[in-house]
Structure 1
Amino acid sequence: MSDQLSKHIIKLVPSLEEEIEEIMSFFELEYFEERAQILEEGHNVSKYYFVNKGCLHLYFNDVYQNQNTIFYALKRWWITEYHAFLDNSKAEFGISAIEPSEVLSITKSNFEKLLVNHPLMGIYFNTIHMRAYAEAVFN
């Protein structure tokens, strides 16, 4: 299933095709059952996820402990708690699986190594973030 991410990367940054096998070595395949808790509010964020199959959501609990979804990550989408992932702070939001899901994860340290060893991956991540922003703001 890592084929989906490989194709996605090459589609957005074709010049990475020769490096794709090494790029994929930075990721780990993981499976989550329906309702699996992937990240809890107040915990450290150590991974960034690419959804191969299934659906994850980013949420916060209100004062009544109801989950309020902020974002759904479907097939070929990325998800993490960005502030905490980037700043090494505690998560303000949680992530859980809506349905059985298969993801590729990358740790914070591997993410940093990936960007150092394959600088064009910065273009890939910039492109996906610009697309996500455009979807959120303009649709």
Structure 2
Amino acid sequence: MTKNLILKNVAKHISLDENETSYFLSILKEKKYPKKSIILKEGETCSAINFVQSGTLRAFYRSAEGKESTIMFAIADWWITDIACFINQQPAILNIETIEESVIFHLRKEDLDDLYLKIPKFERFFRIIMQNAYIREQLRVIQNLSLSAEHRYYIFLEKYPQVAKQVTQKQIASYLGITPEFLSMIRAIKK
């Protein structure tokens, strides 16, 4: 499998020379997963941050009653993990599953820490990734507090058209914090 996509992703924020590129690629662990594979299960130690080479994933929280709430999606060229548990090396509170067959590059926590020491510019790269994620999630919380479900759905479609094509309506409803039935009503109005 080619690693050009992850190198393009890194190149958005930092430049690597040949040795740095070689080292970075050497610490990635590539794995192909079938559809509906759990790559992180709540309670397990979250030991990797994951780059989606191909496919679609979702991170979700399962309540004590068994209700699933989708926290985030990830498509090709995106990173995904249970960040709080990854950084603190604690048991995961999220589950991450593949929505379709996917190829993932895993970067283990200890390898990331070594990467920061050997190639310090990766601290800049991941700082930018984390800042962007924090901004995205802060805006999402504000939208959830201030906008109607209908408005949030239209923003989702506008902001993430590729994701909307690859996930189910039930998963979108879970992400928006509404029932699938209510989402069906919103979609019927739009038509």
The normalised TM-score by structure 1 is 0.91
Structure 2 residue 63 is the aligned partner of structure 1 residue 37: no
Structure 2 residue 126 is the aligned partner of structure 1 residue 125: yes
Two-structure CA RMSD over aligned residues (Å): 1.5
Q: Distance in 2 between matches of 1:135 and 1:82?
A: 14
- Residue aligning to 1:26: 27
Equivalent AA in structure 2 for residue 117 of structure 1:
K
Label 1:138 to 1:88 Cα distance change in 2 as closer, same or farther (>3 A). closer
Q: Distance in 2 between matches of 1:110 and 1:36?
A: 24
Deviation at 1:107, TM superposition (A): 1.1
| Structure 2, unaligned runs of 5 or more | 141-191
Which structure has more strand as a fraction of its residues?
Answer: 1
Runs of 4+ in 1 over 4 A off after TM superposition: none
Cα distance per residue 1:59-89 (max 9 Å; x no partner): 1112331321101111111111111111121
Secondary structure in 1 matching 2:27: coil
Equivalent AA in structure 1 for residue 66 of structure 2:
Q
- Structure 1 or 2, whichever has the larger Rg, is 2
Equivalent AA in structure 2 for residue 86 of structure 1:
I
Cα distance per residue 1:4-59 (max 9 Å; x no partner): 11111122112x24421221111011111111011111111111100011111111
**Given that residues 53 and 101 in structure 1 are in contact (C-alpha distance below 8 angstroms), is that contact kept between their aligned partners in structure 2?**
yes
Q: Distance in 2 between matches of 1:138 and 1:92?
A: 22
Q: Distance in 2 between matches of 1:2 and 1:29?
A: 10
- Residue aligning to 1:105: 106
Secondary structure in 2 matching 1:25: helix
Greater relative contact order (Cα < 8 A, sep 6+): 1
Residues 45-64 of structure 1 aligned to structure 2 (within 5 Å): 45-64=46-65
Deviation at 1:103, TM superposition (A): 1.0
Which structure has more helix as a fraction of its residues?
Answer: 2
Q: Distance in 2 between matches of 1:8 and 1:21?
A: 15
Secondary structure in 2 matching 1:102: strand
Q: Distance in 2 between matches of 1:106 and 1:57?
A: 18
Count of aligned residue pairs for this structure pair: 138
